[in-house]
């Protein structure tokens, strides 16, 4: 009888933090911008003069339990 072949488990690939950091900052920035448009883009703090953005994110606002009326 022969013994089964032993295979080596490959070591995980290490990714330096300095390579992940720019992507993490980008994701956080885009998340904050999205959160602003969904939660606060209306009324006195409105970036855009019309209500197109408000109407575009209206259902998402209700889904996330932000009041808007």
Tens of pLDDT along the chain (69 residues) come to 666 777 888 888 998 989 999 999 999 999 998 888 777 766 666 666 667 777 777 777 777 777 766
Question: How far apart are the C-alpha atoms of 35 and 60, rounded to whole Å?
Answer: 10
Residue 8 covered by a domain: no
When divided into structural domains, the chain yields a total of 1
Angle at 55 between CA 49 and CA 59, to 5 degrees: 145
Question: How far apart are the C-alpha atoms of 69 and 56, rounded to whole Å?
Answer: 15
pTM: 0.57
Domain hosting residue 32, numbered range: 17-63
Residue 4 covered by a domain: no
């Amino acid at each position: 009888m022969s013994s089964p072949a032993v295979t080596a488990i490959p070591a995980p690939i290490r990714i330096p933090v300095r390579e992940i950091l720019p992507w993490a900052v980008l994701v956080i920035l885009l998340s904050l911008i999205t959160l602003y448009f969904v939660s606060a883009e209306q009324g006195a703090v409105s970036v855009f003069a019309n209500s197109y953005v408000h109407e575009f994110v209206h259902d998402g606002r209700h889904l996330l339990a932000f009041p808007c009326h």
